[in-house]
Structure formats: structure tokens, C-alpha cells
Amino acid sequence: MNNKSDTGEEPYSCEVCAYSCTKKQHILQHMRTHTGEKPYSCEICGSSFKQKTHVRQHMRMHTGEKPHSCEVCGSSFTRKQSMLRHMQVHTGEKPYSCEICNSTFTQKQHVVQHMLTHTGEKPYSCKVCGTSFTQKVSMKQHMRTHTGEKPYSCEVCDSSFTRKQHVLLHMRIHTGEKPYSCKVCGSSFTWKQSMLLHMRTHTGEKPYSCEVCGCSFTQKQHVLQHMRTHTGEKPYSCEVCGCSFTMKHEMLRHKRMHTGEKPYSCEVCGSSFTSKQQMLQHMRTHTGERPFSCEVCGSSFTQKQHMLRHMQTHTGEKPYSCEVCGSSFTTKQHRLQHIRMHTGEKPYSCEVCNSSFTRKESMMQHLHRHSGEKPYSCEVCGSSFTMKQNMFKHMQMHIEETPYPC
């Protein structure tokens, strides 16, 4: 039988799809794409293949053999095709082009995948939930969200991941590698995404906007979290007391109230805190830093919340109202304390005599009676008091005794 090189004939044809070829061996191999037959098996792991040459290439995964080497950098590969593809990194060759937008690619497979972005075709579907994908590898990675499979593990801490790329990124936590740097301030980052987000602090860019109130955010995640203030959604619940929260980190911080865990410690005095924010605020008591200033009178504060509350003394604003009697308050905390006058709730109890109080401050002052502690001292005569209020009353005696010049 003549070959195509002699007559142009392709005497062997597929009965299913009209594929034709010059050799009988090729048509037999092709038919396996229709039948699914994989007659060649790996003796080590049992994986099966359509062609004998494929099982040979696969065996190199077990033996570690990499017979094909790059002449430029010395990198070695299990398959010749992989080595030739790698060589394009050095030559810059991109022989495959998109007919629509002229984008070029190193591999034919990549241009085929790229074409799907123009056609919108997603030929690979998840059998569990029906989600469709442009690439088979994306569908396989998605399947792991259903199976829970995490085949890639960190050699240092045994953390496991669904994708190889994720474990490589995770390794930077152990190595301390930060390959991405900010061109403005020089800050370095472990991940490219973190660096791009940081750049928005310099540019002021906030590309994500709330459709309800128009507030803009630097990250998509932040606008999603913000939307919960409009919807009232609180998807994170405490397993102990049932309190629900809009954000996961708020729920985790709340749970420490039950466990007593205080993972953040002050390096100066050793005080420990449930949240990093609390520890940073506490550090200002040592440094004297007061970064938040009132625009009206210049008073400065260690916390933004304190400055905003102070501003209400200038504006007279009392945004928190009691639903029972209509009294209004400058802070939410004051309103909650006031509500207890109506409900009779006294959530703070003395461990010594079981007396209960509406406010934590009142309970702490009461405890001084048992301990004999008098933490409030007069600056004039040194007299000490269990309650701050009593100390202020005492101070008035000195003020009245002070003679005023004519």
C-alpha cells in the first residue's frame, strides 16, 4: 500500500469521525479516542495509557529520569516536547497566533484555549454542580471543592492545597521571600496581588463601589462586606452564645471572650489582648502617640473612635436614641447602658458578694470596697478614694479654699 509521501493518499480512515492517516498503527491508536481503551499500564501505580510511548514517558516520573536537557540553562525534562517548549523561553519564539486579535503563544494548545475567550465556549462542565469551564485543568481544580482533595502539601508545616501554585506561594511564608516591591515607597510583598492592592494607597484608586450608597473601596471583598450593612446579613455565628457577625474576623475575636485567649502581647509591659488593634492602641500609652486630632479645638486622641465621640461635644449631635423613652446619646455604649434602666438587666456581677451592676465600671468600683484599694488620689493633699467621683468631689473643697485676687 502506498504512503501519502508517494501518492498523497491516506488509505486508513476512521469510521466514526472521518479521520484518515497513512499508517495502520495510527488509525488503531486514533480509534482508542472513541473507545476509551487504554491497553498499556504502569507496573508501579497502575495508571493506564492509550499508547506504549506514553507509559514509557510516565515511568520517568517514578524513576526521576530526565533525558532531555536545555543547551542554554541546563534544565532537564522527561519529554523532548517539554524541552523544545522550554527553549522558546530563551528564543522568545511564539509561533502560534490568534486569528482574531493577533495575540501570540508558545504552544498550539494555548492558542486553542485563548480562542474560547472570543467564542465564549466552555466545553468542560462539573458533573456535581454544572459549572462550566474553558479549560479541562480548571474543571479538575474546581472538582476538588466538592471532593475536598488537597493533593499538594507544604514540606515544612504540612498545610495542604488544591493547586500546586498555591503551595509554591505558601512556601514564601516560611522562606520570607518577598519578590514584589512598591516603586513608590519600597515596601516589599510576598504576593503580587498584595503589592497591587498596596499601590492603591498611593494612587487613591478605589475601583469597587457600593450600588446602594456609592461608597467606594480598594478591594472587592471590602465592598461585599460593606453590603451587609445594608442587607443586615450576619453569616458568621458564635457556636457558644449564638451571636452573629457580618465579618469572620469579628466572630473570631468575639470567641476569644469565651476562651479567654489573648494572643497579642505588649512588648513593653507584657499586657495581653484579644485583638491586634487593641494591642496597637495600648502601645500608644507607652509612646504617647495621639494620631487623631480634633479640627475644631486641636485636642488629640489615641483612637479615632474617641476623636469622633469628642467631635459630638462641638456639634451637639446625639445619634443614638432610646426606643422606650426617646432619650438620645452621643455613643452607642451609653445608649445600651441606659436601656438597662428600662430592662433591669445587670450583666456585671461581683465575685465576692454577688452584687450585680448595669455597668462594668460600677462593678470595678464596687470591688475596691472588698479589696480596700483606693486608686484615685488627690493631687493637692494626697488623700485617696475608691471612686473617681468621690475624688472629684473632694477636689472641689480645695478649689473653694483657694483665694481669688481682687
Residue 120, pLDDT > 70, answer: yes
Say if CB 28 and CB 19 are below 8 A apart.
Answer: no
A 10 A CB-CB count for 41 gives: 13
Q: How far is CA 83 from CA 49, 66, 72, 188, 225, in A?
A: 22, 10, 11, 34, 47
Residue 403, pLDDT > 60, answer: no
pLDDT at 404: 47
The mean pLDDT value for 143-164 works out to 88
Average pLDDT, the chain: 86
Q: 306-347, pLDDT tens digit by residue? A: 888 888 889 888 888 999 999 998 888 888 889 988 999 888
Give a three-class secondary structure readout of the chain: CCCHHHHCCCCEECCCCCCEECCHHHHHHHHHHHHCCCCEECCCCCCEECCHHHHHHHHHHHHCCCCEECCCCCCEECCHHHHHHHHHHHHCCCCEECCCCCCEECCHHHHHHHHHHHHCCCCEECCCCCCEECCHHHHHHHHHHHHCCCCEECCCCCCEECCHHHHHHHHHHHHCCCCEECCCCCCEECCHHHHHHHHHHHHCCCCEECCCCCCEECCHHHHHHHHHHHHCCCCEECCCCCCEECCHHHHHHHHHHHHCCCCEECCCCCCEECCHHHHHHHHHHHHCCCCEECCCCCCEECCHHHHHHHHHHHHCCCCEECCCCCCEECCHHHHHHHHHHHHCCCCEECCCCCCEECCHHHHHHHHHHHHCCCCEECCCCCCEECCHHHHHHHHHHHHHHCCCCC
pLDDT at 6: 53
Tell me the three cell numbers of residue 217. 473601596
Tell me the three cell numbers of residue 156. 515544612
Q: How far is CA 255 from CA 24, 69, 226, 277, in A?
A: 70, 56, 22, 16
- Measured CA to CA, the distance from residue 256 to residue 268 in angstroms comes to 23
CA–chain centroid gap for 355, Å, is 44
- Measured CA to CA, the distance from residue 35 to residue 189 in angstroms comes to 50
pLDDT at 406: 40
Tell me the three cell numbers of residue 299. 485636642
Write down how long the chain is.
406
Q: 164-217, pLDDT tens digit by residue? A: 888 888 888 889 889 899 999 999 998 888 899 999 989 999 999 999 999 999
The mean pLDDT value for 69-77 works out to 88
Q: How far is CA 63 from CA 30, 46, 57, 59, 203, in A?
A: 29, 15, 10, 6, 52
